[in-house]
Structure 1
Amino acid sequence: MPRWTHYGSVEELMSNPLQHLCDISKKAQQHSITQNGMEEAMDYLHKLHIGDTLVTSTWKTLFAAYRAELAKLFNRIGVTLDITSNELPFGRQDLTTPIHSEILTHFLSTSEDRLDLSSSNLGTPRLHRTVASPKPLLVDLTSTLSNLKTYSRVIRIAPEKQQFTYAQHNHIVSKILSSRPTPTLLPKMETLLIAPVTDLTPLDGVLSLHTIFDQSKQHMLKFARDPNADEDTSKSETFDPVETADKLGVNAITFQILQSKRNKLLKFEWKRVMSDVRDPGVFVSYLYARLCGCVLFLSSSLSMI
């Protein structure tokens, strides 16, 4: 086994692939690790099925891969983000974590290099390994999940990132909703997003995310059974469970961070949800892949509202 095992167990690496890519790259710079050493680390991560996009040691390629990961999520939910716009839930404040600050500084450096996920401005990351048809991240993570000894994931939120309100949460949700091209579907989607989370009460300082997701799934399935129930809704509109899962997932993650104002520890019981035979499948696959891959970005973004 390569010497990189001291950077974390399989469970720890699986908990947040993107975070550990950043951590390993940061440690490599601190210890002057050679290019060959970084490639060895990337090989190790790849063998653990951490993801389908692995980068070399330079910060430039790490930024490009980070940006591409954001594109995967936001392009799927139809959101166009221009990180230079003051109207979006982003700002230019410095973050407490140096690597976050460096990443955001890179994104905000020039108007030509702004983060516009709907265009071709993303650039082409120089990858350590190029695969013609890489497996989706959710496939790799879900298949590896069965080998883990623990199915619970605890997310720690720093104190400076715990001051959020429902107004801020709804502001982000409204930004997501406003990007939809079918106005007649907006009220139904807004209910789908906000209703499952407005009445939750954390118990004993721990909020179990399965409560949010269980309620969200019920709303999603109800919406799926009769997507054209409203008379003013066009019959041509169809229900896309993947898209809906994306929207619910973003909502659940933002609410998870929002609720950390009262709870330093947030726990999601993966084993219980994965064993739920009523689950539509794509929803859990999405949640596992995106919650692991994007919580780093969302926690950073929310702290700058």
Structure 2
Amino acid sequence: MACFFRRTIAAKLSRTLHHPEDAFIPALSAVPVSKKHPSPDFRLSVGALRLGGVLPADGDIQAQAESLATKLKRDNVLDEISAGQGTITFKTHRQLLVQRMLEPFGKEGTEFGLDSELFSTLKKGTTLVEFSSPNIAKKFHAGHLRSTIIGNFIANLKESLGNHVIRMNYLGDWGMQFGLLGAGFDQFGSQEKLEENPLQHLFDVYVRVNREAESNEDVRRAAGDFFRKLEQREDRAMSLWQQLREMTVKEYRQVYKRLGVHFDVYSGESFHRDQAQQVVQRLHGQGLLKTTERGTAVVDLSPTGDMSSCSTVLRSDGTSLYITRDIAAAIDRKDKFQFDEMIYVTDKSQQNHFHQLFQILQAMGHSWAERCQHVSFGLVQGMSTRSGEVVFLEDVLDEARARMLRNMSQSKTTKTTDDPEDTAEKVGMSALIVQDFRGLLESDYKFDWDRMLQAQGDTGVFLQYTHARLRSLIRNNNGSGEGGEIDPSLLLEQRSIVILQHLLRFDEVLYQSAQDLQPRHLVNFLTKLCHLVASAHKELPVKGSPQSVAQARLRLFSGSCSVLANGMKILGISPVEKM
């Protein structure tokens, strides 16, 4: 595997330059492959060695590269060593590359690339990821799709790298918006319609009361009164709140099931309403609370203490705000789960909110706030269904499934499946995820149904098609490539080598993803793997080849399929067996 070759090169450098092997690991990387011409396997950055103090920081970098390359001799692992532009490249013996890279796929239960020495520098521990977090009593808007799938990816990635992950859904189940809904339900609500279609009815009520509140002071006052009754635990208000919360969570669980997402904890702002008042008292006791002329309580976050930057934590009527409850929630989670890091996944409009939250926690003496992180993302533009109305996630999932079913029925290559709807659902979901993950998370992107569902190109459909094709190849050959010995000398064609060279990068891609929590690195790696496999599939037939050749090729395709499936699962995609 990649770690064997990386360690071997690091050991050779260690003996030559008299530094520990670990000093060279960060400077070594697998070379991105090209279909057109052969490339070396690894590249050593001389600049990184200079930065790390292994080589002198002055002098000509090219001369240093050439001098070091001449000192390193070829051996039974390395076939070629040469100086490039400020780099040294290494080409391994081809037969050894085949043998070492395909070895893990002959054993059961091997997680390829996940035992890499690269991950030893990553901090392991308990990671709490808060994601999705829709508001109760509202239909699951398509805007929540990004938080849900990004948070799921981060949780999957952290878990695959050995962290204990707690997935938390922090529901917006408290606050003034619920006061508005409660007042609206009193005026426009119907118990019969509520039981018939809970979230649609509540959405209709919420839209109507919002419209009324814009021009009617009485409605705004009623909303404030209802929220105060909630904060004071008035029985009727609490009973309605409880009913609507339970109904909403039940509906949401159905949507999450379709997305292939689960949560360990369903929490919510309401869990911290009492603690929010305690937070205000603590802020007051620590001298961090100030009262404005309007009677609101604020924390001064300005560097000079001139109130130029403040965060309001209490309204003038004594009710708590979103940030007050977020402070209480963070403290409570640290006490309960003893997390080593906490990651919040919300859109970029909340960047200032989280900046203030972390500042306040630090000011209160909670040094662990340094290990809290906000992963923000941009907006999806142009996401609409044929009806063109407000886009609810279920409508988007239904349309993705329907379009995919139609595409499958019209395709000549579609195989008969036991459950075409389930296959279409999974493939449609993978199309949504890959379109979302192709760029930087912070960027807004334009939603495009047609491009998203193409079977060719860098799409989720192409990933699924490649996986299904490989699984079919393995099934048709009775899985004979998944175990036993193979002859590595039978896989020395350039089409085989280039796939194995690409697989050398898998642990680096996961490491890079863990550093910046961006899924695009993994998406790009998997789509390139699929293109390489598609080319090899044409030129390296299994059927009709001598048994030893067929078995060797099948091991190559089986290994590629395994890495593809594992990578897809980290992205949150369920690989299909047939399509």
TM-score, length basis structure 1: 0.30
* Greater strand proportion: 2
TM-score, length basis structure 2: 0.19
Higher relative contact order (CA 8 A, sep 6+): 1
Q: Give the greater-gyration-radius structure (CA).
A: 2
